Amino acid sequence: MIVVSDTTPLIGLASIGRLELLLALFGEVYIPQAVYDETVTFGRKEGNAKQAVASAGWIRVVEVKDRLAVNVLLDEMDLGEVETIILAGEMNADWVLMDEKKGRRKLTQLDIPKIGTIGILLKAKQLGLIPVIRPEIESLQKSGFGIARSVVDEVLRMANE
């Protein structure tokens, strides 16, 4: 399975000490250079994401080849999202990990399956990797992760919590 990730799911999961869920769910995860830079090179010194992503040997940085496509999409989204989408297409990814609405809309247009941070937590709960999802969502919110109330309610319903 080929999985490409944007920055936000990495930072969100690392901030609550759950980055390893990606390894358990997907095995290797690929990220473009821009996502590595946003998370590690220029990432906040505080928090867990910088060190967690840098030390995760199962996260592989891949260079995006189609720079023209990247430049065309930069009008619509930031570099990390754009490189994630282009890399997913280049690698024929099975899944893209992304939370941002504009990026998710573009993935829908390109018919590339996507899952966000909350969806990853839900999948982990359904597979028994975490016992409950509510405390994980609350931890994400405390770390500054914005989640719509309607999304929280729906996910908790789906998780039977």
Q: How many CB atoms lie within 10 A of CB 1?
A: 10
Which one has a higher pLDDT value, 48 or 65?
Answer: 65
Confidence of residue 70 (pLDDT cuts 50, 70, 90): very high
* Residue-wise pLDDT tens digits, 75-129: 889 999 999 999 999 999 999 999 999 999 999 999 999 999 999 999 999 999 9
At 47, the pLDDT band (50, 70, 90 cuts) reads low
Segments of 34-151 assigned E as strands: 59-62, 95-97, 114-115
Through-space distance between the first and last CA atoms of the chain, rounded to whole angstroms: 30
Tell me the pTM. 0.92
Task: Kindly list the domain boundaries of the chain, sorted by start residue.
Answer: 3-158
Pair of tokens at residue 97: 């990990």
User: What digits encode the pLDDT tens for the residues 130-145?
Assistant: 999 999 999 999 988 8
Could you tell me the fold of the domain covering 3-158? Rossmann fold (3.40.50)
**149 or 21, higher pLDDT:** 21
Q: From CA 49, how far away is CA 47, in angstroms rounded?
A: 6
